[in-house]
């Protein structure tokens, strides 16, 4: 018996920082047990260079990621939607086939003001918060617990 890998979509408004960092972390953490995507409700059209840099610092390469609109995924069989900012949570549609939805907001490092070093440090802090939450989620996901929960246990 073959089980299709579930698709997980991580949403943010701009799809330039938080959602890409979360996608990189979660993709690494779940390995080939799921397919992980990210998108935005109002994508900026680019992946922030500091998001690429701070993930590279922990051995994750997101340099090939592109900024995408969430509508590109409406015809996909998305099982889990995770929003990482409040605006995306409010703008998020229900995806066909969606079983579960989570909302884990993180501060937007692209909006941080200060010196170059202060902004870089803030990107690292947000990366570390994302890594903690998404690694914990992946630990439950990869042991099979997430795959076989009944749909009525979905978080909203």
| Confidence bin at 27 (pLDDT 50/70/90) | very high
Q: What is the mean pLDDT of the chain?
A: 87
Q: Model confidence over 123-147: pLDDT tens digits?
A: 999 999 999 999 999 988 666 554 4
pLDDT over threshold 50, residue 25:
yes
Write the DSSP symbol of residue 69. B
Helix (H, G, I), strand (E, B) or coil at 20: helix
- What is the model's pTM? 0.86
**Residues with a known catalytic role:** 12, 85, 92
| DSSP 3-state of 11 | strand
Q: Which fold has domain 7-144?
A: Rossmann fold (3.40.50)
Q: Which residue ranges make up each domain of the chain?
A: 7-144
**What pLDDT, in 10s, does the model give residues 92-119?**
667 777 678 899 999 999 999 999 999 9
Measured CA to CA, the distance from residue 47 to residue 63 in angstroms comes to 8
CA dist., res. 138 & res. 27, Å (int): 9
Number of Cβ atoms within 10 Å of the Cβ of 1: 2
């Amino acid at each position: 018996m073959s089980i299709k890998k579930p698709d997980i979509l991580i949403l943010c408004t701009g799809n330039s920082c938080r959602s890409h960092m979360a996608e990189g972390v979660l993709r690494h953490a779940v390995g080939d047990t799921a397919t992980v995507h990210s998108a935005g409700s109002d994508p900026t059209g680019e992946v922030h260079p500091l998001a690429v840099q701070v993930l590279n610092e922990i051995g994750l390469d997101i340099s090939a990621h592109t900024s995408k609109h969430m509508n590109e995924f409406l015809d996909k069989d998305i099982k889990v939607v995770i929003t990482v900012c409040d605006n995306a949570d409010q703008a998020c549609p229900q995806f066909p086939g969606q079983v579960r939805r989570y909302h884990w907001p993180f501060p937007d490092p692209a909006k941080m003001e200060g010196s170059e070093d202060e902004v870089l440090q803030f990107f690292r802090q947000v990366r570390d918060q994302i890594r903690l939450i998404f690694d914990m989620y992946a630990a439950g996901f990869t042991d099979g617990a997430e795959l076989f929960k009944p749909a009525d246990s979905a978080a909203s």
